[in-house]
Amino acid sequence: MTIRQRSSECELCNGAGFVPDAGVCPLCKGRGVEVNWVGFPKPESRKSEKRKERKYNAAWVTSVRHQVVLRDEGCRACREMGLSPEGRGGLPRMQMHEIVYRSTTRGKPMPERVNTKNCILLCDQCHSDVHAKRLSIHISDGDLGADGKLRFKLWSRDEIQQEDLS
């Protein structure tokens, strides 16, 4: 597609490019004509769109992480089970965990995938236990999600083996 240039005589200086009191015409910048571009702007590249989307998603996740840290104030599982995160391997490093993994919600907008209803704060040990299926998370109220009451169950090795056999 080509962009055409359409010119018309300047209305302020009548094509002279000079205004008596101001000197050079401020409207046409001394050219005597106003240039109007006719056509459509070039669309944004796919690469640029993806870059903006990644930037938005990163900012969204950071915002949700901040809200979750303020809400939970430490490992949610350790607190609910009466454990001390310090006693489970030194100083704990906190991580945000999505109850419903992002990989299962691929294709949905980021606010539906990552939000305070779906995210909790866990220490390193509890987070690795969840992913190893040694710690399970049960949501009490589906409407509130993680904003409401959660129940945690730490499975023993015997219980895990019995589950695998059945």
What is the structure's pLDDT at 59? Answer: 93
What is the structure's pLDDT at 11? Answer: 65
- Asked whether the beta carbons of 94 and 76 are under 8 A apart, the reply is no
Q: What is the distance between the alpha carbons of residues 145 and 45, in angstroms, rounded to a whole number?
A: 38
What is the structure's pLDDT at 81? Answer: 83
What is the structure's pLDDT at 118? Answer: 92
The CA R_g of the chain, rounded to the nearest whole Å, is 30
User: Tens place of pLDDT for every residue, the chain, 166 residues?
Assistant: 455 555 666 766 666 666 666 677 766 776 666 655 556 667 889 999 999 999 999 999 999 999 999 999 888 888 888 877 665 555 678 999 999 988 898 889 989 999 999 999 999 888 999 999 999 999 988 889 888 899 998 887 655 555 555 5
Q: What does the DSSP assignment read for 75-112? A: -HHHHHHT--GGGGTSS--EEEEESS-GGGGTTS-HHH
What is the structure's pLDDT at 1? Answer: 47
What is the structure's pLDDT at 83? Answer: 76
- Asked whether the beta carbons of 98 and 119 are under 8 A apart, the reply is yes
Please classify residue 66 by burial: count the beta carbons closer than 10 Å to its beta carbon, then call 0-12 exposed, 13-18 middle and 19+ buried.
exposed
Task: Decide: pTM greater than 0.75.
Answer: no
End-to-end CA distance of the chain: 66
